[in-house]
Amino acid sequence: MTISSTTMDQALPRHVGIIMDGNGRWAERQGKPRVWGHKKGVDAVRRAVSFCRRLNIPSLTLFAFSSENWRRPEDEVSSLMELFMFVLQKEIKLLHKNQVRLKIIGDLSRFSTKLQIKIAEAESLTAGNTGLTLNVAANYGGRWDIAQAAQQLARQVAAGTLQADDIDEKLLASHIQMHDQPELDLMIRTGGDIRISNFLLWQAAYAELLFIDTLWPDFDDQVFADAIASFVSRERRFGCTGAQIRELAAATVQG
């Protein structure tokens, strides 16, 4: 299935989140160590970024390392940290050249000082870019995200600059990660599991969810195009009825 930007531009998602699952299983099926799968997964990241740039999708968020992933074997975690550092150093100039703005979301305090410095340098270099915003969720958890937003508001209340009764969904949302970007429209999970694993809990409130069997290293343009086509075919109601949405769409066309 192919995508036509002329016929589907208005229906395309403005923000896609992907849980990149299946690297380890992919490697094991090849008779390779799990870290080999993570390395091959970097190629899939490049393809996904390029795909979003071609379709002018404003934001792409990739779940690279969850706050629960520290529980994995120590050698695998160590290899992931080394790979993260390597990819930052190798890819950042190309991202910058292509006007991609890089944002790392999550609790970065647990990373090494060296890695934190590299992250800050990469974000600073690309901060002024106006193309795709690539968010990489590292040591991220949706519950952490909501908790850190609540902590920020709690500190304001304690300081006397905010009244507790003034806290509402809109104010809390303004302290959630990526609050300055488009709402999450589509969440994809590769690898066959049907759960969101503490990823973008707040942001996914009205996102369309898609679970596919494809392992992340095999995620290519065709698989991504099929995912976008599935999204476009859905009727998004946001609490309204289908009839209301169709009436609104008809009125918009006539207007």
List CB contacts of 188: < 8 A, sequence separation 6 or more. 16, 17, 18, 19, 210, 211, 212, 227
Rg over alpha carbons for the chain, rounded to the nearest Å, is 19
Instruction: Note if 226 is an active site residue.
Output: no
Count CA atoms closer than 13 A to 82's CA, side-chain side.
9
In 3D space, the residue among 231, 219, 246, 187 whose CA is nearest the CA of residue 12 turns out to be 231
DSSP-derived letter for residue 183 is P
Alpha-carbon gap, residue 85 to 81, rounded angstroms: 6
CB 219, CB 192: distance < 8 Å: no
Residues 21, 139, 145, 185: which is the catalytic one?
A: 21
Pull the structure tokens for residue 100: 């991609």
In 3D space, the residue among 57, 50, 59 whose CA is nearest the CA of residue 9 turns out to be 57
List CB contacts of 42: < 8 A, sequence separation 6 or more. 83, 87
Instruction: Note if 75 is an active site residue.
Output: no
Number of neighbouring beta carbons within 10 Å of residue 109: 7
Backbone angles phi, psi at 132, to 5 degrees: -60, 135
Residues in the chain: 255
Residues 69, 98, 129, 198: which is the catalytic one?
A: 69
Q: Which residues have a catalytic role annotated?
A: 21, 69
